[in-house]
Amino acid sequence: MRVISGKFKGLHMKAVPGQSTRPTTDKVKESIFNMVGPYFDGGSMLDLYGGSGAIAIEALSRGIEKAVIIDRDRKAIETIYMNIKSCKIEDEVEVYRTEASRALNALRKKGSTFDLIFLDPPYLKQRLEEELLFIAEHRLLDKLGKIVVEHAATVELNESYSDLTKIREERYGDTIISIYSI
């Protein structure tokens, strides 16, 4: 696993040990950033299911200024800290070990908003429709922001959730990337 582009290009990152996470492949990661970037002029991002932190680190490498990474798994949190330390970006990243729904509620209470939100839950435990509705109804996405949802091909998402509209969808084997904006 490595950073594909930007200021950390080529940097190798550690994967979460065991089978608790499903890392996004380099091909899919490159495609995601080509669809939403590929580079950024500042801004903030939320990775609600952080895993190794690779997506947030890629976004920071490509110009995002601040990232919030959430994961409930202890091994994932340890891996995220190792990866952000190896990039020397501790000041640019906030990491929280908690459930996604609790994190969204806490971010709502803080009045947080994001330019990029990435949702890649465990395929068998996904609550994407609830999360997309919550994000839309509580205005966690900035007006020009985008939400990237990585999900199983067996999961069908609506074309819209409140004021969020699906603007693109791409399939990569059994994985689908759906992109929403306001």
pLDDT in tens, 42-84: 999 999 999 999 999 999 999 999 999 999 999 999 999 999 9
Domains of the chain: 26-181 (3.40.50.150)
CA gap 35, 55 in Å, rounded = 14
The pair of three-digit structure tokens given for residue 90, joined into one six-digit string: 């501790």
CA gap 160, 18 in Å, rounded = 35
CA gap 170, 173 in Å, rounded = 10
- pLDDT band at 125; cut points 50, 70, 90: confident
Distance of CA 29 to the CA centre of its chain: 11
Neighbours of 12 (CB within 10 A): 9
Predicted confidence (pLDDT) at residue 23 exceeds the cutoff of 90: no
* Interacting residues of 175 by C-beta distance below 8 A, sequence separation 6+: 28, 150, 151, 152, 153
Q: What is the mean pLDDT of residues 116-133?
A: 91
End-to-end CA distance of the chain: 32
User: Is the peptide bond prior to 17 cis by the omega test (within 30 degrees of 0)?
Assistant: no
CA gap 171, 90 in Å, rounded = 34
Cross-strand partners of 46:
68, 117
The model's pTM: 0.95
The full length of the chain comes to 182
Alpha helices, H only, the chain: 26-36, 54-61, 74-87, 100-110, 128-137
Predicted confidence (pLDDT) at residue 99 exceeds the cutoff of 80: yes
Mean pLDDT of the chain: 94
In the three-class reduction of DSSP (H, G, I as helix; E, B as strand; rest coil), residue 166 is classed as strand
